[in-house]
């Protein structure tokens, strides 16, 4: 179980974060705290928690719960509002509205050093307390029946004054109400502070709302005279003075200028017989409103606030400054916690998000629409930076560098591509190209040499085998034969070897044409009969610039 002493600023109970300790009484302690809502909403509240010494007592726990149940139903500006009740780690806590002010006990002690509280201010404070008490006394249940609520602990400690002059009654922890379990099971037990008890309360008799009015009468007497009407050397003597039959010393005995109307009101409120007191808090308030003459200005809440500010303004400012510092520290803690949570979540985010890496992706992983662009960029980068890329260190593997240079000096967040390792490939390509070029050049030279040698061989063979005109005489022309499409040549004519050409030439009856293009035709247009039916050479046009002989083409270069 977590105790109140273990609670430190920054710790939370439910939606509430502890900021600064404010006060501690006999049963509970009060902290300034902050309510956290949605969308950054926050509100300063007061949290009341039971002390560890009594937190295990069922009676005090029930009193704590009863206070929340009863006081939360009172709606009045002179009563501190109960906003929430919670429990966490076995700690019950009561959430109340935050009051920026001081208890009447502290104001009275501070004012005693300055000549006391002015009477008109004191009357206004008690009148406002009567207004709040009347609202509590008139509280009804859900059926409209009066609860008979009695505070039973009206004292300067339980009356708060704000710095803007508002009066607030707090602490209904020992209040008596009809049907309240803690009150019924502990009948006859004295509850409250002895200096502010009524005679019937001190004697353990039945009490009602008039008991609270007696306590207010004691407070009014003390504020306006600076003395307690029943104070003794001890609480026992004080109680004896309350229940005795000795007359109460009138206020004018201490001050001849004490207003008589005010003295009358005070003495009636202190009547030992409840029947002789004011019967309601509203009646008491009305009587206080008539103690001063009509021409005397009435005290307003602003006047009370100014008095409290002048008296204890420095104390209030220190509390507000401490509260501001606590809120600032709480904000810093929240920011640091948020940053730590973000740092802790970074590995999870990195595992879920695919970031571009420097290493070049495989060709299969590149979409078709991006492959061309990546290759083009790689070629451009390789070409333009070939003179200096060798001096640049390669990026480390696994680096999540997001900005890489582009040919235009800008930065891109596209996946970085590692240049292709094309040094060895380039050398091989150059060597292969040189080999191809060398082979092609050699082939061309050999072909040219073969063509150059072929005409000479053909001329020699023809000169040896072909008959001249003188040998053959006037031989009739041979009929031109169509070229064989199955034997193509470079010049488009028929292709015959030199031996075949010489053999066929010898078999022809008649002279060979001077140009070797075919056998001349006889006059008359009819072909002359030949000695045999062997085919003759195909007639070809005479090339310009030669000796008139057309050599047969070479079909096999020989290599």
Backbone angles phi, psi at 218, to 5 degrees: -60, -45
Cα–Cα–Cα angle for 267, 268, 274, rounded to 5 degrees: 125
Which segments of 466-542 does DSSP mark as H helices, in order?
469-472, 498-507
Cβ partners under 8 Å of residue 412, min gap 6: 403, 404, 406
Query: What's the token pair of residue 227?
Result: 């003395």
SS3 call for 137:
helix
Helix (H) or strand (E) run with residue 261 in it: helix 260-269
Tokens of 325: 């510092």
Write the DSSP assignment of 290-339 as a string of letters.
TSS-TTSPPPPHHHHHHHHHHHHHHHHHHHHHHHHHHHHHHHHHHHHHHH
Per-residue b or e along 322-336, where b marks 16 or more CB atoms closer than 10 Å to that residue's CB:
ebeebbeebeeeeee
Give the span between the Cα atoms of 394 and 383, in whole angstroms: 17
The count of residues in the chain is 559
Backbone phi and psi for residue 554, each to the nearest 5 degrees, phi listed first: -100, 125
**By CB neighbour count within 10 A (0-12 exposed, 13-18 middle, 19+ buried), where does 307 fall?**
buried
How far apart are the C-alpha atoms of 214 and 271, rounded to whole Å? 8
Nearest Cα to 33, choosing from 125, 103, 96?
96
Q: How far apart are CA 471 and CA 506, in angstroms?
A: 11
Question: Residue 170, SS3?
Answer: coil
Contacts 24+ apart (CB under 8 A), 492-497: 493/538, 493/540, 493/550, 493/553, 494/537, 494/538, 495/552, 495/553, 495/555, 496/537, 496/552, 497/552
Owner of token pair 């004519």:
493
Angle formed by the axes of helices 209-225 and 119-137, to 10°? 170
| Bridge-based pairing state of the strands 101-103 and 159-162 | antiparallel
State the Cα–Cα distance between residues 415 and 499, nearest whole angstrom.
74
- Strand ranges of the sheet holding 159-162, from the earlier edge strand across to the other edge: 101-103, 159-162, 167-169
The three-class DSSP label of residue 456 is helix
* Residues that are catalytic: 153
């Amino acid at each position: 179980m977590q105790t109140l002493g273990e609670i430190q600023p920054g710790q939370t109970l439910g939606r509430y974060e502890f900021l600064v300790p404010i006060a501690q009484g006999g049963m509970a302690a009060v902290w300034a705290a902050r309510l956290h809502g949605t969308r950054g909403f926050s509100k300063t509240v007061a949290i009341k928690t039971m002390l560890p010494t009594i937190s295990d007592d069922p009676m005090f726990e029930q009193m704590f719960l009863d206070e929340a149940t009863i006081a939360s139903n009172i709606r009045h500006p002179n009563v501190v509002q109960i906003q929430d009740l919670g429990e966490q780690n076995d700690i019950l806590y009561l959430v109340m509205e935050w009051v920026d002010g001081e208890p009447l006990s502290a104001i009275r002690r501070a004012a005693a050093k300055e000549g006391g509280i002015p009477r008109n201010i004191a009357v206004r404070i008690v009148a406002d307390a009567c207004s709040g008490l009347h609202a509590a006394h008139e509280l009804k249940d859900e059926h409209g029946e009066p609860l008979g609520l009695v505070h039973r602990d009206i004292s300067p400690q339980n009356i708060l004054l704000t710095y803007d002059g508002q009066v607030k009654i707090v602490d209904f922890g020992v209040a008596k109400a009809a049907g309240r379990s803690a009150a019924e099971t502990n009948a006859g037990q004295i509850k409250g502070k002895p200096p502010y008890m009524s005679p019937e309360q001190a004697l353990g008799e039945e009490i009602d709302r008039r008991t609270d009015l007696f306590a207010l009468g004691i407070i009014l007497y003390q504020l306006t005279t600076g003395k307690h009407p029943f104070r003794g050397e001890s609480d026992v003597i004080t109680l004896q003075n309350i229940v005795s039959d000795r007359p109460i010393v009138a206020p004018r005995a201490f001050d001849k200028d004490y207003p008589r109307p005010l003295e009358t009101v005070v003495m009636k409120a202190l009547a030992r017989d409840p029947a002789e007191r004011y019967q309601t808090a509203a009646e008491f308030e009305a009587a206080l409103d008539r103690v001063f003459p009509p021409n005397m200005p009435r005290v307003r809440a602003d006047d009370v606030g100014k008095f409290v500010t002048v008296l204890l303004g420095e104390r209030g400012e220190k509390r507000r400054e401490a509260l501001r510092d606590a809120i600032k520290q709480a904000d810093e803690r929240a920011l640091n916690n948020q940053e730590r949570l973000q740092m802790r979540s970074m590995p999870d985010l990195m595992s879920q998000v695919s970031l571009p890496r420097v290493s070049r992706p495989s060709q299969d992983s590149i979409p078709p629409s991006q492959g061309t662009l990546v290759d083009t960029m790689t070629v451009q980068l390789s070409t333009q930076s070939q003179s200096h890329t060798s001096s640049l260190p390669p990026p480390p593997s696994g680096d999540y560098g997001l900005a890489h240079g582009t040919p235009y000096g800008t930065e891109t967040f596209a996946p970085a591509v590692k240049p292709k390792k094309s040094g060895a490939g380039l050398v091989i390509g150059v060597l292969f190209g040189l080999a191809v070029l060398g082979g092609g050049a050699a082939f061309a030279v050999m072909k040219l040499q073969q063509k150059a040698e072929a005409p000479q061989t053909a001329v020699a063979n023809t000169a040896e085998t072909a008959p001249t005109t003188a040998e053959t005489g006037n031989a009739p022309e041979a009929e031109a034969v169509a070229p064989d499409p199955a034997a193509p040549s470079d010049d488009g004519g028929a292709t015959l070897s030199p031996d075949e050409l010489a053999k066929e030439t010898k078999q022809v009856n008649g002279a060979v044409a001077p140009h070797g293009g075919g056998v001349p035709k006889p006059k008359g247009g009819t072909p002359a009969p030949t000695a045999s039916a062997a085919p003759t050479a195909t007639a070809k046009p005479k090339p310009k610039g030669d000796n008139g002989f057309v050599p047969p083409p070479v079909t096999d270069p020989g290599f």
